[in-house]
Amino acid sequence: MTTRHRLFHTRIGPGFSLDEAARIRKQMTEVARGTLPCPHCGSFLQEITGAGVGERVSLVLCDGCGRSLVLREANSELRSK
């Protein structure tokens, strides 16, 4: 699978349910990065983080099954941690 096809597939592929997304977000604050398993296939979830004006955006994706999740946090939430 080419990189272009793989990225395109990830964007339109299935995502996580709302319950799974909530669990993943909670676990990301408790577990070391790169050690959180995917609830569907067991592969490790990869986090790519970027900063915008007033917020931090993270893309959490699984290379195994192609599921992904976007998390957005306002800077006010980050300061309270």
Q: What is the mean pLDDT of the chain?
A: 76
Please name the residue ranges forming H helices in the chain: 3-12, 18-30, 75-79
What is the total count of domains within the chain? 1
Residue 3: its pLDDT value, please?
Answer: 46
What is the pTM (predicted TM-score) of this model?
0.64
Residue 43: its pLDDT value, please?
Answer: 92
pLDDT for residue 58 is more than 70 = yes
Q: How far apart are the C-alpha atoms of 61 and 41, rounded to whole Å?
A: 12
Backbone dihedral angles phi then psi of residue 26, each to the nearest 5 degrees:
-65, -45
pLDDT per residue over 18-40, tens digit each? 888 889 888 887 776 668 899 98
Q: Which domain holds residue 75?
A: 3-79
